[in-house]
Amino acid sequence: MAARDVGGGEPLLSEGAAEELLRCICFKTGPPRMVGIELEWLVHEPDHPDRPVEPSRLERVYSGVRELPLRSALTFEPGGQLELSSQPATSLMECIDSMAADLDTVRNALRASGLSLDGHGHDPWNPPRRLLHEPRYDAMERYLNRTGPAGRSMMCSSASVQVCLDAGFEEPGPLGLGRRWQLAHLLGAVLVAAFANSPAGEGRPTGWRSTRQALWADLDPVRALAPDPGAQPRTGWAAHVLDTPVMCVRAAEGPWPSPEGLTFRQWIRTGLPRPPTRADLEYHMTTLFPPVRPRGHLELRMIDAQSGEDGWKVPVAVTTALFDDPEAAEIAYRMVKPLAELAGPLPAPRNPLWTAAARDGLTDPELHGAAVSCFGVALEALPRLGASSAVEKAVVEFFDRYVLPGRCPADDFAFHRGEQRNVHHGKEIHS
């Protein structure tokens, strides 16, 4: 249990107490009934998205946006991306309608300033540029730069649709925690492939349909990975958190140090550079970026931001239907379970299944077959979840336009730097 006190009276952690906290606070089981959304957006001039918005202009506009009456939490990412995080809702449509209202309010404010929200998983035109300079982001960039440029690009140039769902029942079954955890890591690859929407960077094709997902896989040797796929959710996650290197040690003054190679477990055992507390453990978890992050609920982080004003509604509706409708969850699990053979023993997203999803999208035959089946199941489940006719129509249109023919939104992207280019099967095609 907790031992000594820090100077401010905060109890320190023993290794056993840390493991127990991770097992308990990260998976709160019960009937799935809540849904939440986190939407990240790039912000551009609508007619000139390849021209970076001046930082001083962006700050003036954001000062006004901060004053808007919103139900969602409004935050900004290091590169100036705008993020809206919904309140937990008791139904799919409550969540969608609340977020849609907030998005209308934000869009109107940005439109008045000559700016717009842009839904791409990775900025197709502009190089990474960090606008927020805070101890957290200074330490993060310094740490991630040790392994290459992917971290800076992730921080400053990426955007996503994140769906937050309850962890599920403690007991086995289609809505049980163990089943939902496994479903998330197999269906997650299908969602990457179907909604891939980031084939470019700095005006050039990258060879990936989801450049954003490729960046996550290349981010860091450990902290962007899922836990051991063979472990039980609680045990695997606790070990993963404790055995991941510490990104930084928070300090009251000055830069936050980034000890090289110090895992949280080692930090507890050595007590250096200072003994860690529960607050340090909770902060450490926010610096881990797996495709599915347990935060009491399950945070599904693998979906690229979607184009158009309402494109985000489709992945939210499909994902919620496949997890929270018992019949759909059972069928979807059977549809994606064979993908485990392709994934192999390596954790997501650094295994063959997730690599194929990010690179090939739905041109991969196994992912295409799973997507067709899962979207069909989701469409049958949406009326049972009370989805509106407009949401159902949006899912049908996406299914017909992309899923059935084995395409994804990235395949629509047109390159206009000297000549027209398209990405197909991970290769650059000139036309």
Percent of the chain past pLDDT 70, that is, above it, reads 94
Please report where in the chains the tokens 């759909």 appear, as a residue: 328
Q: Give the integer Cα–Cα distance in Å for 277 and 70.
A: 34
What is 138-171 written as a DSSP string? HHHHHHHGGG-THHHHHHHHB-EEEEEE---BSS
Dihedral over alpha carbons 357, 359, 362, 368 (to 10 degrees): -40
Answer positive or negative: Cα dihedral of 294, 295, 298, 304: negative
Report residue 9's pLDDT band, with 50, 70 and 90 as the boundaries: low
Residues 175, 322: contact at Cβ < 8 Å?
Answer: no
- pTM for the structure as a whole: 0.93
pLDDT tens figures, 78-96:
999 999 999 999 999 999 9
Q: What is the mean pLDDT of residues 254-264?
A: 94
Residues 302, 213: contact at Cβ < 8 Å?
Answer: yes
pLDDT tens figures, 166-214:
999 998 999 999 999 999 999 999 999 999 999 999 999 999 999 999 9
Q: Give me the pLDDT at residue 183, please.
A: 98
Is the confidence at residue 421, as pLDDT, over 90? no
Instruction: Give the single-character DSSP code of 86.
Output: P
Is the confidence at residue 360, as pLDDT, over 70? yes
Q: Give the integer Cα–Cα distance in Å for 428 and 256.
A: 42
Question: Which helix (DSSP H) or strand (DSSP E) does residue 395 occupy?
Answer: helix 389-398
Is the confidence at residue 131, as pLDDT, over 80? yes
Strands annotated E in 157-266? 160-165, 200-201, 204-205
Instruction: Give the single-character DSSP code of 120.
Output: -
User: Across-strand partners of 430?
Assistant: 421
Q: Give the integer Cα–Cα distance in Å for 80 and 61.
A: 11
pLDDT tens figures, 113-127:
999 999 999 999 999
Is the confidence at residue 8, as pLDDT, over 80? no
| Mean pLDDT score across all residues of the chain | 93
Residues 324, 385: contact at Cβ < 8 Å?
Answer: yes
Report residue 11's pLDDT band, with 50, 70 and 90 as the boundaries: confident
Report residue 416's pLDDT band, with 50, 70 and 90 as the boundaries: low
Of 26-30, 247-251, 264-268, 294-298, the one with minimum mean pLDDT is 26-30
What is 268-304 written as a DSSP string? HHH--SS--BHHHHHHHHHT---SEEEEBEEEEEEEE
Higher pLDDT, 425 or 291: 291
